[in-house]
Amino acid sequence: MDTAVVASRPAESSRNTSSGRKRPSRAEAETAVRTLIEWAGDDPDREGLSGTPARVARAYEEFFAGYNEDPVALLATTFEETAAYDEMIVLRDIRLESHCEHHLVPILGRVHVGYLPAGRVVGISKLARVVEAFAKRMQIQETLTAQIADTIQDVLNPRGVGVVIEAAHQCMTTRGIRKPGVSMATSRMLGSFRDDPDTRREFLAMIASPRSNPHES
């Protein structure tokens, strides 16, 4: 049976807070949506739109649920009984659904996370949850990439961390320059992933290798 270790929380959490700012009520949020509907040129009281402000408020609760999550706490429980496993651990193709802070339109793509453990590992679902906690906030892709990698490095203290994000930005594909099919790739390499070319190549090769169904015989 694995031995769980609960890490002490670092003095500085990676959580993005807005201390000192009063959060508007749901009613105020719904009123703001009504204003936007009217500004766009429609009637928020007509049948098809009368329930839209409430639906948008509920949707925003889902889109930006990451503000209520602490990514540091998600990584607090680790396991030391690993049979001295010290090779790379990679989680590929984590679905990314985020929003650009400049236009509040979707960023859709995938995230690849890898790390070299130093005596302890974390449940793989926690890696996906850390990605989700940061993704469900408003930011740019560069910031998101750095936040994920830095938090894993700071909390787990592995020998190295690598994070690569590939995503399409609807602020570019559906408005402005309107270039569908374009995606953006960002990476953050820390520790041995940055300093050791062989480790970096191994990680990039693993996330680029052909996908197969693990349940296929």
Q: Say whether 112 is catalytic.
A: no
Q: Phi and psi at residue 167, in whole multiples of 5°?
A: -150, 155
Q: Say whether 99 is catalytic.
A: no
Q: Say whether 101 is catalytic.
A: yes
Catalytic residue among 100, 112, 132, 147: 100
User: At 83, which amino acid appears?
Assistant: A
Nearest to 135 by CA among 187, 65, 207, 183: 65
Torsion, CA 143, CA 148, CA 150, CA 151, rounded to 10: 130
Strand (E) positions, the chain?
4-6, 77-79, 89-100, 106-116, 138-139, 160-169, 184-191
∠ CA 97-52-144 to the nearest 5 degrees? 20
Q: Is 39 helix (H, G, I), strand (E, B) or coil?
A: helix
Catalytic residue among 103, 166, 170, 202: 103
In angstroms, the CA 189 to CA 195 distance is: 9
Q: Is 59 helix (H, G, I), strand (E, B) or coil?
A: helix
Catalytic residue among 38, 81, 102, 142: 102
Catalytic residue among 30, 112, 147, 169: 169
Q: Say whether 171 is catalytic.
A: yes
Whether the Cβ atoms of residue 152 and residue 130 lie closer than 8 Å to each other? yes
Q: Say whether 61 is catalytic.
A: no
Catalytic residue among 139, 141, 147, 153: 141
Q: Say whether 102 is catalytic.
A: yes
Active centre residues (catalytic):
100-103, 141, 169, 171
